[in-house]
Amino acid sequence: MTPSFADHPQMTVEEFEELARRAPETVSLEFVQGKLEVKPVPDQLHGAIIVWLIRQCMQHRPELAVYPEQGLKVDAYRAGRARADAALAPFDHYIGQMGEWADPAGTLLVMEVTSHDADTDRRDRQEKRDGYAAAGIPVYLLIDRDAHEVVVYAEPARGKYARRSTYPYGAAVELPEPVGMTLDSAKLKDYVR
């Protein structure tokens, strides 16, 4: 079996954080499974999907906030750093945490929107999903633009999500507790490319 980056990381977390601090504002970096990742620049439809989630959450759970591009420490999974497309947590939850990489404790949901690039399968559908599960984030919401599906992962245990539910665009998407809301995904049909 070929050794993975997780077994032999490209750099230490400290080296990554220094590199990320010095990167130009136009570059977004992540450190997932011991591998340096350059997060693709999102397109306009990607941004529209984030706004869709923000509006839904404000309607159903106004006491919570959606934090776009939230940096999270996914230490339980190979000392990684992931930048979620969006994170749902109590209002002002991340205030007072030092630096751009927050402790994921108290984060209720993370969302990723697939990109139209070669790495999206490995990054969004596998590595980040597993990193979020290992960090104990209760719900992972994946908007899969290639499959036109919304995938909800829940019940993190032993580094994996025990439950996976898939919904076609247009369906009512049930987000389990501690999120406890139903998303109307009809608008996602307008964002198909």
**3-state SS of the chain: helix, strand, coil percent to 5?**
25, 35, 40
Please state the domain count of the chain.
1
Q: What is the secondary structure of 82-110 as a DSSP string?
A: EEEEEEEEETTTTTT--SS-B--TT--EE
Whether pTM > 0.75 for this model: the answer is yes
pLDDT tens-place string over residues 90-105: 999 999 887 888 999 9
Over residues 72-96, the pLDDT tens digits come to: 998 765 568 888 999 999 999 999 8
14 in a structural domain: no
Q: Which pair of structure tokens corresponds to residue 95? A: 């205030």
In the prediction, which pLDDT does 2 show? 43
Instruction: State both tokens at 123.
Output: 């990054």
Tell me which residue range forms the domain holding 142. 41-191
Average pLDDT over residues 36-44: 66
The CATH number of the domain where 186 resides is what?
Answer: 3.90.1570.10
**Section 144-151 average pLDDT:** 94
**pLDDT, average across residues 40-44:** 65
Note whether residue 151 is domain-resident.
Answer: yes
Task: State residue 3's pLDDT score.
Answer: 45
In a domain? residue 67: yes
Q: Could you tell me if residue 52 is inside a domain?
A: yes
87: amino acid identity, one letter: A
Provide the pLDDT for residue 67.
Answer: 95
* CA neighbor of 72 nearest in space, from 86, 58, 61: 86
What type of residue sits at position 116?
H
Output the pLDDT for position 172.
98
Spatial neighbors of 9 by CB under 8 A, at least 6 apart, are 31, 34, 35, 78, 79
